[in-house]
Chain A
């Protein structure tokens, strides 16, 4: 159905996207790519009667259900360590939060997001949660879901199911909220989070839907109470004193929760904190704007991402776990190339370590040089 889609692309050096392009066949698409050599190539998840028309005249016929997971939105601790900024005037490397260059005083400071294997692993974890939501809760079959590497820091998931094609924006918002765990009403679930009386609700770990998910995640939260990841957030919610009390009774609490959750065994405020963290652990961190936008353009699968030179590769379900962009998405040639690098953290690409580089001329393989050039942290000499 290529003729129903809208295409759009950026060319080198151009800041405005060329949009509303309509193509009749895959061969027209290949011709366009060869002729325009786009920096980024996009297509619409939506189908239109007139894809080339301006937005309000396109006539929307439906759209695939799409999800975007980006390591950048996961608040990962590694981000602080590897992101940085550079001054566009004097080309010095700055801390990621700088607004003004400390060397020349310029305000033309550009932030550079780096990506590491930890970022990719975290994004994969979210993809696995998302896939479970889609398959188990929404009953969408495996064969209708495809996962692509975005070519930078995340993954796109596309559901191509005719039955879901005409879901409107509000329905997609509900699906988004469901996956993000947003708007869950503890009282409706019978979880006592204040002093009101609730009908006793029977939870089973084997339950489906958020009911079972909440139960299982809450058990894990209690089990991992001592781990910093949980402890820090728990202290923020209930304070040190309550947290220490909770930690002391952890073992007996786990024992009483062994068969099924006993929400009412604790103070309402503590129950609420556990349930809140359980949602945070169990939800899939998708970008809500992407999924609810029924006119969204997304990166065309198996094209180059102009921010990295990596391939936005279609992944098979059984290769997702092993996928590593620094080996599997590298497609540029390996001929050595001389570039001036402003800064590059220590990086492993195609099983070889490089850097760290700081303000120096280096001879590196083309695929790495392209990555640095695309990120704007190196120049050709």
Chain B
């Protein structure tokens, strides 16, 4: 039978089918997890949620084993579905995405310490990746290759140039990857899966024992949102072209954009005179937001760092190539750069 069927394995990877089956065979409902005998399960579930919402997975990232796993494997395992329920009860898009991300980071940490055989089983049986063993020495030694469709599903969203398909060794449909890279791809897949799990619970009312905790978390999220809105420019400016409005709306919803889209949007904002601080704030809604990284990148585009080049926003035809142009510019009239839209709008306003 599968390598995954030990209590240790399912506690490590509670999102697996094996774990789900085991938990439902115990016939414990969420209600009873509030009783004193399960106090540790509830504590651990609260920790998981707070780790995600408040610390953004920082404790997992340092790889502290005592934080990553509770010593009691049963506690560890049961805390996962309870945490899912709590997040569903918090009923906030940002919270759901952040929880998915952080649980996936945790899984990635654990996966990267596993034997290759275990990783293979997890990737193929649980996540449905099409993998094969290879032996190829390039810049590194490669033992694994993944079908390009599974590779692209995750990696087409990564920004680093080494993830671009053209910079990979692709042969007969398979892309060579290292174990570490596979763990990174698995993380994205797990993240999406966990988010789906939370969403499939739907909006639920918090049970009595968790009501106070849920309210606390909701309040914190609310004050964070208020901070973002009060410090930026409020409603969507009319003077922006449709492409930039669309990017802004996606960001506010907390969706992550491609590297190019981020660059296009940030350079646009800088060029219409919005401050670095305000732009950092807009980006703070992303589930993987890290202020230091965001600030560095925006300052780079502003020409305050690195090559000191101040970037203008990409032209309409470049936006089109990247699939970001809305209705092929039908709504914009004849312009060649999104910035022209703003200039024309302002000129028009001034004339009025």
Contact = CB atoms under 8 A, between A and B. Distances in A.
Interface of A: 136-140, 163-164, 167-171, 173-175, 177-178, 181-185, 188-190, 199, 201, 207-211, 288-289, 292-293
Interface of B: 138-139, 147-149, 152-153, 155-157, 161-162, 164-174, 258, 320-323
B164 A177 contact: yes
B153 A171 contact: yes
Given A184-B166, A289-B320, 16 more contacts: A139-B171, A163-B149, A173-B322, A174-B165, A174-B166, A177-B164, A177-B165, A182-B166, A183-B164, A183-B167, A185-B162, A188-B167, A201-B138, A208-B170, A208-B172, A211-B169
A288 B318 CA distance: 12
A15 to B, nearest CB: 15
B258 A170 contact: yes
Nearest to B148: A138
Contacts of B138: 201, 211
A174 B148 CA distance: 10
Contacts of A293: 323
A184 B164 CA distance: 8
Contacts of A188: 139, 161-162, 167
A293 B328 CA distance: 12
Contact of B170 (A173, A181, A189, A209): A209
A171 B152 contact: yes
Nearest to A207: B169
A115 B138 CA distance: 44
Nearest to B258: A170
A265 B161 CA distance: 26
A213 B153 CA distance: 25
Contacts of A175: 152, 165
Given A184-B166, A210-B166, A211-B169, A169 B323 contact: yes
A133 to B, nearest CB: 9
Contacts of B258: 170
Given A138-B148, A171-B156, A175-B165, A201 B139 contact: yes
A210 B164 CA distance: 12
A17 B134 CA distance: 50
Given A171-B152, A189-B167, A138 B161 contact: no
Nearest to B164: A183
Contacts of A201: 138-139
Contacts of A137: 170-173
A138 B174 CA distance: 7
28 contacts: A136-B171, A137-B173, A163-B147, A163-B149, A164-B149, A167-B152, A168-B156, A171-B153, A171-B156, A173-B322, A173-B323, A174-B165, A178-B166, A182-B166, A183-B164, A188-B161, A188-B162, A201-B138, A201-B139, A208-B171, A209-B168, A209-B170, A209-B171, A211-B138, A211-B169, A288-B321, A289-B321, A293-B323
Given A139-B172, A140-B173, A184-B167, A292 B149 contact: no
A80 B42 CA distance: 75
Contacts of B164: 174, 177, 183, 185
A293 to B, nearest CB: 8
B250 to A, nearest CB: 13
A177 B148 CA distance: 14
A190 B140 CA distance: 12
B166 A139 contact: no
Nearest to A293: B323
A167 B139 CA distance: 29
A377 B149 CA distance: 47
A136 B152 CA distance: 18
Nearest to A198: B139
Nearest to A171: B152
Contacts of A170: 152, 156-157, 258
A286 to B, nearest CB: 13
A139 B153 contact: no
B279 to A, nearest CB: 24
B260 to A, nearest CB: 10
Contacts of B172: 136-137, 139, 208
Contacts of B152: 167, 170-171, 174-175
Contacts of A139: 171-174
A236 B241 CA distance: 37
A71 to B, nearest CB: 20
Given A171-B156, A201-B139, A178 B173 contact: no
A55 to B, nearest CB: 10
A168 B166 CA distance: 17
A190 B169 CA distance: 13
Q: Which 5 A-B pairs have the closest CB atoms?
A: A139-B173, A171-B152, A208-B171, A139-B172, A170-B156
A277 B291 CA distance: 41
Given A164-B149, A171-B156, A178 B174 contact: no
Contacts of B320: 289
B169 A209 contact: yes
Given A137-B171, A140-B173, A190-B139, A177 B323 contact: no
